[in-house]
Amino acid sequence: MSTLDFQGKEVIAALESQFQPKIKAQEKPEIRITNAIVCSFFTSDDYYKAHGARLKSNLEELGIQYDLREITKKEGEDWAAICRRKVGFIAEVCAKNPDKKVFWIDVDCELFSIPDFILNSTADLIGFQRGFSTPTKIGYQNRGRFWEPCFWGINNTDQARKMITAAAEFEEIATVRATDDYFFEEAWRATSGNMTFQIIPSNCAVDKGAGSLEGHETFFRFGSSGQVENFKGVVEQHKGNTAKRLLNPKRELLRFAKRVEEKLPLGISTKLRLMVDASGITGYLTGKSHNNINNQTITKLVTAGKSGDLAGFNSSLTHFKRKVLPNRYERAAIKVASSYLSYSAKPGKNEVFLSWWENPYPGNFGDWLTPFIFNHYTENKIIFQSLTNRTNKNHIVSLGSVGRFIKPNSIVVGTGVSSFKHALNPKAEYISVRGPHTAKLLKESGGPEVTSFGDPGVVLSRILPFTRGETNGRIALVRHYTHVQAPVRLPDNFDELSVQISHPNDVIAFIEKLNEYDSVVTSAMHVMITCQSYGIPCALIVFKGFEEYVHGTGIKYSDYALGAGVPVMDPTPINPKLDMAEIKPITFTHKVSEAKINEVEAAIRESLKRFKK
């Protein structure tokens, strides 16, 4: 052997030893969760294979053992038959892992984490209720099947394993054409009398519940290939005890209206929408879809708050509290009724009719800045005028991307749009708009040329002249209310504040709190505007995977900035697991000029003068 050959082998050996640990690390990811295994399978078509790769990466990041297999689609085998194979597959994984909890997840779903209350559950089975419904709708009178099997856990108890075995044995001999749901439901019905079970709150799944910062963490996102709808009526399905579905005329009319609008030419659909919005039909069809209020006393209480009826409010509230323990929706309605009342029951002799977006209860900071700001500039009572209801009264429309709801008798100050899709009403009285994009759309809609710009939110530092002294050394995260279910992980130096407020006292406390922080990270535009009114360092973000949750095309950000005379900040997509390496480079300190605040203040005062006339 030559010296050169020997040295060459030494070099190769050295290189192999250098790279070998990295190869091993990739092949055997660190297992941090030892009491459970996640299983799933996928076929080789592009849709499922891509999701299989994503799920594999997802599970490795979580540090949990998995059994994730690519299966071969047999000749003539359709989606329903492949789903049926899930039953035997899960039974096999359970048999191979007798000491572990076994979790099945559909391959096109995502796991952001597995919370302790799931990993350490002592129940035989744990999962979402069918349809991701709530405990108040549990039972076969509401659903034909009990479980939503896109994600569910089978404990290592005798009872749980007997159910899975029963499902697999039945699937082997059954001649019915059915998916896995059918066989699991049959096994559940046959064995559930001896089993314990735990329902996962629907709020833990993205888009499947009404998320809140006080609930369990959101850890799951449902994925749908659309095949379920294709096979309805083709495979065997269970029916509930009553098998009835209540007809919802409003819902059906709304769906029909959307279908008609999609098929009409753009010019006709634009004119039709203006007519429909102005007539109040939009308000009628969507009026109760946001807040889940079914209690008549609560409805009366909110009505009393809107009209300034203090005696009626107190009477309804007393009556309600003596008979009912309020749920989360009723508590939110009580809060918002009190917020209405704080403006409508003022001692002033006259009334100002003011429009803003009221939903969802208990309110959204940015929308409820409208009465808060105008309240500072008038002694009169402020009466809420719904944006979506018909009215013959003059009224002021101001903050928010609510331009499509402007009516001929609206007085407009600082209003914007979220897209160019809907024309603006050219007959309204325009004092100012949010920015040049809105002004351009107004001109194209046949309206006047407006040159006064500025979102009224910029005047907050004039209304509440807080002085930023020494800050607390921490960073505040404030999500847009549609981002509540993003799977956020806060670093140690972060606190989270909620925008779901409406009462003026809460608005004051929120703004004062923002001024205490070193900086603010937010996906809510009016929180950013508040920061720029005071000169608070701010990062405008959106969470990756949730980019489309805020309505519109994104033009509102540049519209605001160009109108307020500050640099344009578009939301930057970041990982929900917050990382300062992503956040620090996009944190900026911008302050709206005093001249611009003066201009916006003048527009607000002018709108109140014109309303009196």
**76 with 192: CB under 8 angstroms?**
no
Percent of the chain having pLDDT more than 90?
A: 68
Rounded to whole angstroms, the Cα distance separating 251 from 249 reads: 5
391-434 tens-digit pLDDT: 999 999 999 999 999 999 999 999 999 999 889 999 999 999 99
Rounded to whole angstroms, the Cα distance separating 546 from 571 reads: 12
Distances in Å between the Cα of 66 and the Cα atoms of 3, 100, 569 are 48, 11, 42
Q: What is the mean pLDDT of residues 218-228?
A: 74
Percent of the chain having pLDDT more than 70?
A: 84
Rounded to whole angstroms, the Cα distance separating 538 from 584 reads: 10
Task: Answer yes or no: is pLDDT of 138 > 90.
Answer: no
CA torsion through residues 392, 360, 287, 308, sign = negative
Which residues partner with 539 through β-bridges? 521, 587
Task: Answer yes or no: is pLDDT of 604 > 70.
Answer: yes
Task: Answer yes or no: is pLDDT of 4 > 80.
Answer: no
Rounded to whole angstroms, the Cα distance separating 3 from 297 reads: 95
- Read off the pLDDT band of 519 (50, 70, 90): very high
- Read off the pLDDT band of 278 (50, 70, 90): low
Residues 6+ apart with CB under 8 A from 237: 144, 178, 182
pLDDT at 235: 54
Most confident of 65-74, 124-133, 456-465: 456-465
Rounded to whole angstroms, the Cα distance separating 189 from 193 reads: 8
CA 318 to chain centre: 33
- Strand ranges of the sheet holding 64-70, from the earlier edge strand across to the other edge: 64-70, 33-42, 101-105, 147-154, 125-129, 197-200
37-82 tens-digit pLDDT: 999 999 988 888 999 999 999 999 999 999 999 998 888 788 888 9
Task: Answer yes or no: is pLDDT of 244 > 70.
Answer: no
Helices (H), 409-476: 436-444, 460-463
Distances in Å between the Cα of 290 and the Cα atoms of 41, 160, 167, 181, 188 are 38, 39, 40, 31, 35
Task: Answer yes or no: is pLDDT of 16 > 50.
Answer: no
Helix (H) or strand (E) holding 365: helix 365-376
Rounded to whole angstroms, the Cα distance separating 204 from 206 reads: 7
Task: Answer yes or no: is pLDDT of 8 > 70.
Answer: no
Nearest to 497 by CA among 298, 362, 507: 507
Q: What is the mean pLDDT of residues 355-371?
A: 95
Q: What is the mean pLDDT of residues 164-178?
A: 93
Secondary structure class of 556 (helix, strand, coil): helix
Q: What's the chain's average pLDDT?
A: 87
pLDDT at 335: 95
pLDDT at 19: 44
Global model pTM greater than 0.75: yes
Strand stretches in 309-376, DSSP E = 351-355
Q: What is the mean pLDDT of residues 474-480?
A: 97
CA torsion through residues 59, 60, 65, 70, sign = positive
Q: What is the mean pLDDT of residues 216-220?
A: 89
Q: What is the mean pLDDT of residues 249-258?
A: 59
Task: Answer yes or no: is pLDDT of 364 > 50.
Answer: yes
Helices (H), 427-552: 436-444, 460-463, 504-514, 525-534
For the chain, the maximum distance between any two Cα atoms, rounded to a whole number of angstroms, is 107
530-584 tens-digit pLDDT: 999 999 999 999 999 898 888 888 899 999 999 999 999 999 999 999 999 999 9
pLDDT at 279: 56
Task: Answer yes or no: is pLDDT of 268 > 80.
Answer: no
Q: What is the mean pLDDT of residues 473-496?
A: 94
Write the single-letter amino acid at 305.
G
Rounded to whole angstroms, the Cα distance separating 159 from 194 reads: 7
Task: Answer yes or no: is pLDDT of 371 > 60.
Answer: yes
Of 469 and 20, the structure prediction assigns the larger pLDDT to 469
- Range of weakest confidence among 38-42, 99-103, 242-246: 242-246
Helix (H) or strand (E) holding 431: strand 429-433
